Amino acid sequence: MIQMLGKRLIEFFLFIFLLSLISFAGIKLAPGDAVRQLLRVDDVALTNEQVEIQREIMGLNEPIIVQYGEWLSKFIRLDLGTSYMTHRPVIEEIWTRMPATLLLSCTSIVVLMGVAVPLGACSALYPKKWIDQVSRVLAIMGASIPSFWLGLLLIEGFSVRWSVFPSMGDGTLMHLVLPSLTLGLTMAAVYVRLIRSSLLNSLSQDFILGARSRGIGRKRIFWLHACRHSLTPVVTMFGISVGSLLGGSVVVETIFAYPGLGKFIVEAIHNRDYPMIQGYILFMGAIIMLLHVVTDVTVGYVNPEIRLKEGGH
């Protein structure tokens, strides 16, 4: 156990180091000028020489490797720097926005599960029946409707016409309904088909036939054997989905003026806020790495076959 944990830790640090190196180089090599943004050259009378002086003050004229070295030495001391946009520590900016993002992610997952699990299960239990046809149509619709359009449709219906939910902002549970529906419904479309095919695959396995021949009841077979077996691809996919939800759903956050991380980072990219972008990449990298570990452990738990293949822990 300690060996596995040590291996994971080494993997984690190596991953973070490589990610920091690649992302730093990528950000610096991308076109765009932080100094021009910072000085607001479009409304301040400046010369290009003055812009250059500011660039030197900020150390942006140094070779990339020197800049990276300086950044790394601060990072080792757990200092991610200060945002150019807000002049607040990067870590504080991320923590401030994280609760809103987490809350929206959770409510979106509730919508996702609330729609995808019953629809996917019913489709698998009654293939080619009307419920399967309905779920197929809904899944295709959900997958093909862009989230921004679904968001605007929901606003048009629930805010403009019926005045049930607020069209934007945050602060109450009511504010979460439309963005959660937008995110949850678009993601649910994929899961409905995944759950259906995975369940159908499980139901056709030999061990299910064996269970039936032993006289085990249909419900028991479905819930205890087929469901558990079919969870592997769903859990794997779920890990990826949670990562992308936490990464921020920019379009949804923009339409509903929701104070999440995604929109903030897009603005940071637009403003060439290098410390903010770099800090965010590492933070998300660490979270996604953690999610992978959790996903692996969960998959191992629900599927003993995989657990045994990977060393029988």
Distance, in Å, from the CA atom of 119 to the CA atom of 129, rounded to the nearest integer, reads 12
Which residues lie closer than 8 Å to 88 by C-beta, 6 or more apart? Answer: 82
For residue 304, count CB atoms less than 10 angstroms from its CB and return exposed for 0-12, middle for 13-18, buried for 19 or more: exposed
In degrees, rounded to 5, the angle at the alpha carbon of residue 309 between the alpha carbons of residues 303 and 311 is 110
Q: Is 70 in the site for other proteins (CB under 8 A)?
A: no
Q: Is 127 in the site for other proteins (CB under 8 A)?
A: no
DSSP-derived 3-state class of residue 77:
coil
Number of residues that bind other proteins (CB under 8 A): 50
* 158-177 binders of other proteins (CB under 8 A): 159-160, 163, 166-171
Which amino acid type is present at position 67?
Q
Q: Is 41 in the site for other proteins (CB under 8 A)?
A: yes
Q: Is 29 in the site for other proteins (CB under 8 A)?
A: no
Distance, in Å, from the CA atom of 248 to the CA atom of 104, rounded to the nearest integer, reads 10
* Among 156, 223, 224, 301, interactor with other proteins by CB under 8 A: 156
Distance, in Å, from the CA atom of 179 to the CA atom of 224, rounded to the nearest integer, reads 34
Distance, in Å, from the CA atom of 264 to the CA atom of 101, rounded to the nearest integer, reads 11
Closer CB to other proteins, 72 or 103, in the complex? 103
**φ, ψ dihedrals at 122, nearest 5°:** -65, -40
Q: Is 310 in the site for other proteins (CB under 8 A)?
A: no
Q: Is 32 in the site for other proteins (CB under 8 A)?
A: yes
Neighbouring C-beta atoms of residue 111, cutoff 10 Å = 20
CB of 35 to other proteins, least distance (A): 9
Q: Is 33 in the site for other proteins (CB under 8 A)?
A: yes
Say which residue the tokens 């104070």 belong to.
259
Which residues lie closer than 8 Å to 136 by C-beta, 6 or more apart? Answer: 123, 193
From 65, 80, 97, select the one nearest 279 (Cα to Cα). 80
Closer CB to other proteins, 120 or 247, in the complex? 247
CB of 153 to other proteins, least distance (A): 10
* Among 1, 42, 130, 213, interactor with other proteins by CB under 8 A: 42
CB of 18 to other proteins, least distance (A): 27
From residue 240 to residue 279, the character string flagging contacts with other proteins as x (rule: CB under 8 A) and all else as - is -------------xxxxxxx---xx--x------------
Closer CB to other proteins, 100 or 125, in the complex? 100
Neighbouring C-beta atoms of residue 205, cutoff 10 Å = 14
DSSP-derived 3-state class of residue 89:
strand
* Among 3, 49, 63, 214, interactor with other proteins by CB under 8 A: 49
* 76-105 binders of other proteins (CB under 8 A): 85-88, 96-97
Q: Is 48 in the site for other proteins (CB under 8 A)?
A: yes
Closer CB to other proteins, 100 or 291, in the complex? 100
- What residue ranges bind other proteins (CB under 8 A)? 31-33, 36, 38-51, 54, 57, 85-88, 96-97, 148, 151-152, 155-156, 159-160, 163, 166-171, 253-259, 263-264, 267
